[in-house]
Amino acid sequence: MTNRIRSAALAGAAALALLLSACSGNNAGQGEAAASSDPAGGDRLQITGAGATFPKPLYEQWMGEYLKDHPNVSFTYEGVGSGEGVRRFLAGDVDFGGSDAALTDADLAKVGDRGVVMVPMTAGMVVLAYNLPGANGLKLSREAVAGIFGGRIRAWNDPRIAATNPDLTLPNKTLVPVVRRDSSGTTYAFTNHLGAANDWWASEGPGVGKVVQWPENAMEVTYNEGVAQRVKVSPGSIGYMAYEFAHRLGLPMAALENKAGEFVTPSAASGTAALASVRDVPDDLRVFIPDPPGAGAYPIVSYTWLLLYETYPDTAEADALKRAVTWGLTAGQPTAAKLGYIPLPDAMISLAKAKVESIH
């Protein structure tokens, strides 16, 4: 979509008008978050984006906060999944994209002369939330997680689950994994971890990708919201999703075995420990942490990126994006922490701000 500046006369408003919406379609989570205002009635710069559902709650909050001091810029972000967000960005249908999996070299080649700037905006944890009354404090080994989502563990009282939960009475009940059918960066982060942590997963199991072939016993839905809602209403189910979606619905989350052999619950401290395991950051800021080492590190974490063009045809648009993204990297980070995301390390913020400055 080509960005444009247009005049919009808003009737009789003295106060700031704010619209933040998530308009559902046929699938949970398919919606557009919009921030739009011009109380005086003047020119508004309209900037559109689409992509990952993982950071959508944060982007919604950011747009609302940013609008208070910048009423002449209108941002919209449609949560359609990382795969679709990348597709729209590469096609030039949006001004920016969002993805939990950074662009590949093949993707970068499709952009052409406009160039690409990939900016990590925050990070988050992929959790396993479940619906099994009476099983609070569930612990899952690396073998058990691969077995559950690879179709090799079909009952809750399977010995591979019982072995790490001696204090729980696990029922002889069918276990139903809830997974994503759409092209998803959350799926990539989850399967990238399993591929690093389990030889079988990468060689013979579902494999690694935004879309994989799930076992026939899996329940396939779309978007992070869709997985969270399905787990909430489906006794015996377990699904992978971004932390903030499970937290918002009050779903119990399993403690997962990390590379150091510890069972770690998702928290700000364990997520920060995982990010701290990264020692070398490449120039393009494509950082993946499939199996973070070290004590206290939560095992499944991912950065999430904004996909921006290096060159925009409108200087006003480029400047507005640079200001807004820099705000998110600085003033917006405390909001990320409040919503359950992992704030960026200071070193990453410095590198990301430098990248943003290259946009023109």
pLDDT in tens, 121-175: 999 999 999 999 999 999 999 999 999 999 999 999 999 999 999 999 999 999 9
Pick the more confident residue, 4 or 44: 44
Is residue 2's pLDDT more than 70? no
The CA distances from residue 198 to 89, 129, 140, 161, 292, in Å, are: 33, 20, 14, 16, 14
Percentage of residues in the chain with pLDDT exceeding 90?
A: 86
Sorted by where each starts, the structural domains of the chain and their CATH numbers stand as 4-123+302-356 (3.40.190.10), 125-275 (3.40.190.10)
Residue 302 has which token pair?
A: 């991912």
What does pTM read for this prediction?
0.85
**Quick one: pLDDT at residue 42?**
52
Is residue 281's pLDDT more than 70? yes
**Quick one: pLDDT at residue 185?**
95
Is residue 302's pLDDT more than 90? yes
Phi, psi of 268 (to 5 degrees): -60, -40
Q: How far is the C-alpha of 63 from the C-alpha of 353, rounded, in Å?
A: 19
In 10 A of CB 321, how many CB atoms?
A: 25
pLDDT in tens, 40-88: 445 789 999 999 999 999 999 999 999 999 999 999 999 999 999 999 9
Q: Which residues pair with 174 in a beta bridge?
A: 155
